[in-house]
Amino acid sequence: MNGQLKVEADKDYLGMDAYLIRQAPKRILLVCGKSVSLLKIGKYFETLESRLGISVVTFQGFSPNPEYESVEQGVRCYRESDCDMIVAVGGGSAMDVAKCIRLFVPMDPSESYLKQKMQPSEIPFFVIPTTAGTGSEATHFAVIYVQGKKQSIAHETCLPDAVMLDASLLDSLPLYQRKATCMDALCHALESYWSVRSTEESKEYAKEAIQLILKHAKGYLENQGIANEKMLMAAHLAGKAINIARTTAGHALCYKLTSLYGIAHGHAAALCVREVWRYMLAHLELCRDVRGREYLECIFAEIADVMGCEDKEEALDRFEAIIQSMDLGIEKGDNEICWKELVGSVNVERLNNSPVVLTESAIDEIYHRIFGGCLS
């Protein structure tokens, strides 16, 4: 996040006051979920006009898997309300919508924004994550859905100008969401570490994220204040890692599981990363990283060391133990699973980031292992 300002939280949000005063917006488009009104940060924006003279227009018209049409509505809302800044408060969905609004506002509304050339946008953009998992506040990626199909967007305009990390916003997270977001952040860090796009910088971010997650996961699940703070930072660091290296096969395989079986994204990612990891260790001869098999073996050894394990097999075992301790399994009989639909849903671009070649039969094998079924 070159040149990006990170605004740390303080008890009375005085730092955010100072930041907004410097930006001097007249009217903010606040992109957020309905639950924001129950949080302290919601009260902050409700009183912003009376305190600082900055009016706020709230946009909440989107679903957990935001659709293109919702973003169009957000763009119209921004323009018709004469806004001059965007603030996103929430998880990945709110940030994805806000990112796309910022990207699309300068474009021609008479044709599909997705068919136009993406241009830099100068709209000030400030985000406040309310979950510790997606790391979306640290990336230039966004995901929206077009007629039910996932559309990935990558542009530097999607990268926020400033971020506030406020661990108190995690206090009300349900236990299952804590488990899922914890695993999402851990998967981001692991995948970025072994990605063919990894760099020394991305690996340093990933290393710190992994160590923070393993040390503070238990406290985070128990809603301990310090652990919440550390997990929020871990997710942010993992986001910075995938902003450089991107995710790999684990994420490519997980999206369809969330829609078909109603499990959280981080839950699905953990199950897929576990089996992709297992497959890669068994097929190192299929290394596609230009740095070679020896380099890849060193990467898995480094991951093991970061996780406090003796070797690469023990590291995978520890990851498996974490999943089991969180009770993040999935149970579906063979007759309920459409294997072809699962295999056909995989994002091929993300497979290119994976260090080991995955064929269609390999993907089929991985899905079968996720469900504990027999190979077709």
Residue 375 reports pLDDT greater than 50: no
Would you say 325 and 273 are in contact if contact means Cβ atoms under 8 Å apart?
no
Cα dist. 248→91, 225, 262 in Å? 21, 32, 22
pLDDT tens digits for range 49-80: 999 999 999 999 888 889 999 999 999 999 99
Q: Which fold has domain 175-371?
A: Dehydroquinate synthase-like, alpha domain (1.20.1090)
For the 5-170 domain, the top CATH level (class) is alpha beta
pLDDT tens digits for range 343-356: 888 877 779 999 99
Residue 123 reports pLDDT greater than 50: yes
The residue type found at 48 is: L
Provide CATH 3.40.50.1970 ranges for the chain: 5-170
- Average pLDDT, stretch 264-288? 97
pLDDT tens digits for range 227-245: 999 999 999 999 999 999 9
Query: What is the average pLDDT value for the chain, to the nearest integer?
Result: 92
Torsion angle defined by CA atoms of residues 254, 294, 193 and 213, in that order, rounded to the nearest 10 degrees: 100
pLDDT tens digits for range 35-46: 898 889 999 999
Would you say 158 and 102 are in contact if contact means Cβ atoms under 8 Å apart?
yes
Rounded to whole angstroms, the Cα distance separating 128 from 33 reads: 12
Reported confidence tier of residue 337, pLDDT bands at 50, 70, 90: confident
Would you say 374 and 368 are in contact if contact means Cβ atoms under 8 Å apart?
yes
Residue 118 reports pLDDT greater than 60: yes
What is the model's pLDDT at position 343? 86
What is the model's pLDDT at position 374? 42
Residue 173 reports pLDDT greater than 90: yes
Dihedral sign of CA atoms 224, 225, 228, 230 in order: negative
- Average pLDDT, stretch 24-31? 98
Rounded to whole angstroms, the Cα distance separating 151 from 116 reads: 14
Provide CATH 1.20.1090.10 ranges for the chain: 175-371
Rounded to whole angstroms, the Cα distance separating 236 from 135 reads: 5
Distance between alpha carbon 320 and the CA centroid of its chain, in Å? 21
Instruction: Tell me the pTM.
Output: 0.92
Rounded to whole angstroms, the Cα distance separating 48 from 202 reads: 37
- Percent of the chain surpassing pLDDT 90: 80
- Average pLDDT, stretch 17-22? 93
